[in-house]
Amino acid sequence: MAGLRLRRSTIYQGVEWFGSGRVTFERGVTLNRGVVVNHSGGLYMGENSGLGPGTLIITATHEVGPAAKRWGRGTSTRVVIGRGVWVGANVTILPGVRIGDGCIIGAGAVVSRDCRPHTVYVGVPARPVRELDPTP
């Protein structure tokens, strides 16, 4: 895949990729089985972050079109996942989202907005439920 930069990361079998944007993984990133990454808009993952099984990262979408074809012109926006982030199983991360350092995203969440650092997010749509200690 063109535009991929890895630094001592772990990618398990069954990870699927599609798109043409730049992908950067810092040291210690882990992608578990069944992860699907659309990287058309680009993806950055900070050091020691991990994606649980079945995570879906989408960086592309469509504008709303007219009645004859509702999926209009395609657009894409980079997803940024900070350092030390833990993304649980079957999470969906939508285009343009920034997940702050030290976040935990609970299993099954749909992340449609930016996430504050060192906070636990759960639900559909993902919402903050607990602050975490930022001390390393």
Catalytic residue among 62, 70, 113, 127: 62
Q: How far, in Å, CA of 67 to CA of 69, rounded?
A: 5
Nearest Cα neighbor of 121 from 134, 132, 113, 130 is: 130
Cα–Cα distances (Å) from 116 to 2, 11, 103, in that order, read 31, 26, 7
Residue 62 is a catalytic residue: yes
Residues 6+ apart with CB under 8 A from 77: 41, 59, 95, 96
- What does the radius of gyration of the chain's CA atoms come to, in whole angstroms? 15
Which residues are part of the catalytic machinery? 62
